[in-house]
Structure 1
Amino acid sequence: MTHYASQPSLPERYVRLAHAIDAHLPGFIDGYGGDPAWADRTPRGPADLKREAADLAEHVADVPEDTRRRWLAAQVRAMHTAARMLCGEGVPYADEVRGLYDIEPFRADHAALDAGLRALDAALPGCGTLAERKAALRERVAVPRGDILRVAEPIMTELRARTQARFGLPQGEDFRIGLVTNRPWSGYNWPLGNLQSRIDINTDLPVLLTALPDLLAHEGYPGHHTEHATKEQKLVRERGWSEHHLQLLNAPECVVSEGIATNALDAVMNKGEVRAWLTGDLARVAGLDAGDVAAMLDAQAAQSSLKGVSAAAAMMLHGEGRPEREVLDFLMHYSSVPEAQARMSLEFITQPTLRAYIFTYPVGGELVAGVLAAQGTAGYARLLSEPVTPGELREMRVD
């Protein structure tokens, strides 16, 4: 156990341990808006971090509030897993996913993926190969880089209004949007603390009009930004649970966060509303053909069973030891994309803090979709405002 000048509180120990791990594993912390004095990155050996995580877990067991205790216990188990890996322990990839995220990884179901490709092939208009027709349609519904923020503005206005009406928003919350390049993701929300976020949109690949409402709901309203701001207000400011000043990238909270974000658009609009909006007002704002927009929406719906392709590729690479070339070909085939785009997906799943993270999207998405189906708005509102573990998600979706 590490000793300080005065015995720190449990939240302080939690925050300090996270920063000590982040010093060895940059990116382990996704955001922090608390006391700067707790953000101590003084070098500490991995063995010390492992002992601290084990000791912290024992103290978490004494937390009186059941909800807080379960959440902290899951988070600290992930910290212990990260510390074990920093110590050089040979943690199998599937156990890495389980230890960090409290979820089960999965392998590629080639029969289901092949069925998804057939559905996509049938939905895509035009002549040529599946990849050629997909690329041509994507080009026709892409928003020019110079128009992205202009087109995004009415989308964010509508999403914010619906989120405010359905779930409420903390007073003073806000975020700014920026365009970036040379990133392995399409969009990212950076929690800044004080109810603020920064949303980056990657323009290395075409930004499709048909994907823009989902992306902005995912990163903004009622997705990541809404969750971070709501939990800061309700858990930190109102309840004094300072551990929620911190967001970790390699911990179970991300399964819930990505599940919330993956289902964010569905939480405020039904699919008919989204389709009418995109083929009507938004197509006119973007200056795109409504027929092309409708065709792209059909294609996106047809390929819904292909959403787990990158996670399956990660299991092939890290869990099964498949050659990188084989994994790249798998990504190109089942994502129907050129090699350059497949390499972006490969880059994502080879980064140390993202190689296991990729499972949070399909698994978290499925779990939260189950909560929405079982409990509707009330269930989603709980996820926005309370600390919930993946295990609790599994229970909520069958209530």
Structure 2
Amino acid sequence: MPGQGDVAERYEAYRRGFAIPDGKVDAVFRAAIAACRERTLAHVALPAGESFTLEYVKDKPWSGYNWYKGNFTSVIQVNTDLPIYIDRALDLACHEGYPGHHVYNALIEEQLVRGRGWIEWSVYPLFSPQSLIAEGTANFGIAVAFPEAERLAFERDVLFPLAGLDPAQAARYHEVQRLVGRLSHAGNEAARRYLDGTWSRETAIGWLENHALMGPDRAAQRLRFFDTYRSYVINYNLGEDLVRDYVNGQGGDEQHPARRWEVFLDLLRQPKLPSALAGAAR
């Protein structure tokens, strides 16, 4: 990181240069969503009439949320409480939309509720094993739709210019974000000790700042998420690990993109328990 001193502070200072200006957020997000949808449609026929509404909200404990409304429609909300960085556009477009939650819920309705008459699948129990797979596929779907080299090229050539950012900085920023992503499990430890009552709010926030490289405002928002959703936090990174290992174990590694899509989409269409994925991955 440029500068000297505390790494977390230097990272925050560096990252501020990659925030999407307020007036450009919508254009960047719509471009990202369109690209995610196009890549998803190349591998799966979505139900006729599927669509979603994009909204911008404030005062939420999360950065993005998909509210599935039935009839193959969703409302996708983006929280604008904090600056939105350029990498979050593809992250949220894929995770909440294509091939993430919107596609997952639409295929469940098409394949299970309407196709098989399994009406119980029209109810989604959020705090259940289903969410480990749902969040895991939504997170891993980012890499399925946009392998690293293709993601870098799209962000550099399309999203950076739309946001008014310097495309020449895209490669370095992409590499920094890849490395910071390896720290995500530090958030699980903060949640565990905070929710167990062994850490105070201040201690947990300090841990997130020092070990997950979150700024103070973002760390405080993460504590709001812990307070609201508690152990749900593990579904994101642990779920992604589980799904990645399963897909790779079924021959869907990066060198076989067609097989990767095939195995990934099978997870969206067919109900499975996390234990089945873990066993198959081994």
TM over 0.5: yes
Q: Work out the CA distance in 2 between the residues paired with 1:277 and 1:199.
A: 22
- What is the deviation of 1:378? 2.1
Q: Which residue pairs with 1:370 in the alignment?
A: 245
Residue type of the partner of 2:263?
A: G
Question: Quick check: which has more Rg, 1 or 2?
Answer: 1
Partner of 1:365, secondary structure, is: helix
Partner of 1:191, secondary structure, is: strand
Residue type of the partner of 1:290?
A: P
Q: Which residue pairs with 2:34 in the alignment?
A: 157
Q: Which residue pairs with 1:184 in the alignment?
A: 61
**Aligned counterpart in structure 1 of residue 12 of structure 2, from 114, 135, 142:** 135
Q: Work out the CA distance in 1 between the residues paired with 2:5 and 2:92.
A: 29
Q: Work out the CA distance in 1 between the residues paired with 2:21 and 2:159.
A: 14
Q: Indicate how the Cα distance of structure 1 residues 307 and 258 shifts in structure 2: closer, same or farther if over 3 A, else same.
A: same
Map 1:335-374; keep pairs closer than 5 Å.
Answer: 335-351=212-228, 354-374=229-249
Residue type of the partner of 1:305?
A: R
Map 1:110-125; keep pairs closer than 5 Å.
Answer: 124-125=1-2
Unaligned runs of 5+ in 1: 1-123
Count of residues in Structure 1 that have an aligned counterpart in Structure 2: 273
Unaligned runs of 5+ in 2: 251-259
- What is the deviation of 1:255? 0.2
Check the 8 A contact 2:9/2:215 in 1, yes or no: no
Q: Work out the CA distance in 1 between the residues paired with 2:56 and 2:6.
A: 32
Q: Deviations over 1:295-344 (max 9, x none)?
A: 22111111222111221111112236223322222112112233332111
Q: Indicate how the Cα distance of structure 1 residues 282 and 323 shifts in structure 2: closer, same or farther if over 3 A, else same.
A: closer
Q: Work out the CA distance in 2 between the residues paired with 1:210 and 1:325.
A: 28
1:233 and 2:110 are equivalent in the alignment: yes
Q: Work out the CA distance in 2 between the residues paired with 1:269 and 1:209.
A: 15
Check the 8 A contact 2:90/2:142 in 1, yes or no: yes
1:292 and 2:176 are equivalent in the alignment: no
Q: Which residue pairs with 1:256 in the alignment?
A: 133
Residue type of the partner of 1:394?
A: A
Residue type of the partner of 2:237?
A: P
Cα-Cα RMSD:
1.5
Residue type of the partner of 2:168?
A: G
1:395 and 2:279 are equivalent in the alignment: yes
Report sequence identity in percent.
33
Partner of 1:247, secondary structure, is: coil
Residue type of the partner of 2:238?
A: V
Partner of 2:66, secondary structure, is: strand
- What is the deviation of 1:128? 4.8
- What is the deviation of 1:127? 4.5
Check the 8 A contact 1:218/1:265 in 2, yes or no: yes
Q: Work out the CA distance in 1 between the residues paired with 2:14 and 2:36.
A: 26
TM-score (structure 1 length as normaliser):
0.66
Q: Work out the CA distance in 1 between the residues paired with 2:11 and 2:33.
A: 27
Residue type of the partner of 1:240?
A: G
Q: Work out the CA distance in 1 between the residues paired with 2:214 and 2:34.
A: 32
Partner of 2:134, secondary structure, is: helix
